[in-house]
Amino acid sequence: QAKSAELVDLERRLSQAVSSASAAALARIGSAESSGLAALRAAVSGARAQIRAQAQAARTQVESGYAAAVAAMAAAANSARTGMVDNRRVADGAVTSRQNEQLTALGDLYDRTEQRMRAAANHAGDLAMAQANRRAEQYRAGMIHRDDNFLDGPLTDNRCKAQADAAIAVGEAYRAELPKAVDEPISDMRNGRPDAEKSIRTIAADVRESLDTILAQSRTNLTDAHNQSLDGANDARQAALHGISQALAAAEARLTQLQDSQSRAIRAQAAEFRHGVQRSAAHATTAISRGAAAARGAVDRGVQEFLHVLAQDEVPHPEQLDDVLRQTGQQLDDRLTEAVQGLDRKSVV
């Protein structure tokens, strides 16, 4: 009975050892599963942070490039506007210079025309005087230098002299009046000078107005081109940022898929290990129970053999009885030891 009780206690302790070992193994599996999942999450989180940092760096580069392009376009537009204004100023100066040149040339033309008109009048007077002198000489050439009339004396000479004097008087009159005759046309000409100068100024004003129109149109075209360039740069910026966002979303989706698949693999492996531990623990518990039952059966058979010896009709000799008891006890001890060793082996397994 003591041996059987010892077997029962041994079976209980071995079963508890198997349960403890199984629980410890399951705990280690759970810890390893948690550690694996945590490591996976950390790795995915690190990778996610890295690709997000790369995406942010790419966005920063895009924004920096966009800002630099916008600044360059603004500088170019301002430089072009300044150039337009400078060119307009230069052109206005050229128009003013040309206007002044034309006004000066017009004044010179009026002065030369007046000089020519007066010179022509004087020349005509001189021609008239020269013609009068020739006529007078012709008239004087007809003088006979004697009296040819009883009553009037040198009638021919007087008549020739009178004709010569008349011719000289007419010539002198022409020479005196012809320069005066040009005063009125010269005055009319001078009265038309303000209108001529106004025409020159009007033409210059029209040219300036055309320059202003060209400048305004150029500014409008420049503004339109600048806005189109800004729109193009912004479209490129938005496209680049969209591409970065899409690439980031795709990379994060792949990371999520990888994390999910690896998490399922870790859980599946942990579940397989748990199932193996539980199966091994169940087999070990069953083997322990069977071994203990076999050991108890062996002890019971030894006791039955001893009782069979005692039940014989002939009373054994005391020394013989001691030998039988010693042998039976030794056999029980050997069988119990063998049973314990078998149970230990099963528990280890």
Residue type, 250: A
Mean pLDDT of 27-37: 91
Q: In this predicted structure, what is the pLDDT of residue 1? A: 59
Q: In this predicted structure, what is the pLDDT of residue 329? A: 55
- pLDDT band at 318; cut points 50, 70, 90: low
Residue whose pair of structure tokens reads 């009782």 in the numeric block = 307
Mean pLDDT of 303-307: 59
Q: How many CA atoms lie within 13 A of 220 on its CB side?
A: 6
Q: In this predicted structure, what is the pLDDT of residue 343? A: 45
Residue 80 clears pLDDT 50, i.e. is over it: yes
Six-digit token pair at 45? 């989180």
Higher local confidence (pLDDT), 326 or 15? 15
* Separation of CA 121 from chain center: 82
Q: In this predicted structure, what is the pLDDT of residue 308? A: 62
- pLDDT band at 3; cut points 50, 70, 90: low
Instruction: Give the predicted TM-score (pTM) of the model.
Output: 0.58
Q: CA 42, 47, 52, 54: dihedral to nearest 10 degrees?
A: 140
Residue type, 141: A
Mean pLDDT of 165-183: 89
Share of the chain above pLDDT 70, in %: 81
Residue 74 clears pLDDT 80, i.e. is over it: yes
Q: Find the range with the poorest average confidence among 27-41, 106-120, 333-347.
A: 333-347
Neighbour tally for 328: CB within 10 Å = 16
What is the C-alpha to C-alpha distance for residues 184 and 187, in angstroms, rounded to an integer?
A: 5
Residue 193 clears pLDDT 70, i.e. is over it: yes
CB 348 within 8 A of CB 19: no
* pLDDT tens track for 200-250: 999 999 999 999 999 999 999 999 999 999 999 999 999 999 999 999 999
What is the C-alpha to C-alpha distance for residues 238 and 241, in angstroms, rounded to an integer?
A: 5
Residue 314 clears pLDDT 90, i.e. is over it: no
Q: In this predicted structure, what is the pLDDT of residue 296? A: 65
* pLDDT tens track for 246-298: 999 999 999 999 999 999 999 999 999 889 888 887 887 887 777 767 766 76
Q: Which helix (H) or strand (E) holds 170?
A: helix 155-181
What is the C-alpha to C-alpha distance for residues 167 and 135, in angstroms, rounded to an integer?
A: 6
Q: In this predicted structure, what is the pLDDT of residue 181? A: 86
Residue type, 149: N
Residue 315 clears pLDDT 80, i.e. is over it: no
CB 52 within 8 A of CB 248: yes
305 Cβ contact partners less than 8 Å away, ≥ 6 residues apart: 328
- pLDDT, averaged across the chain: 84
Residue 139 clears pLDDT 70, i.e. is over it: yes
Q: In this predicted structure, what is the pLDDT of residue 313? A: 47
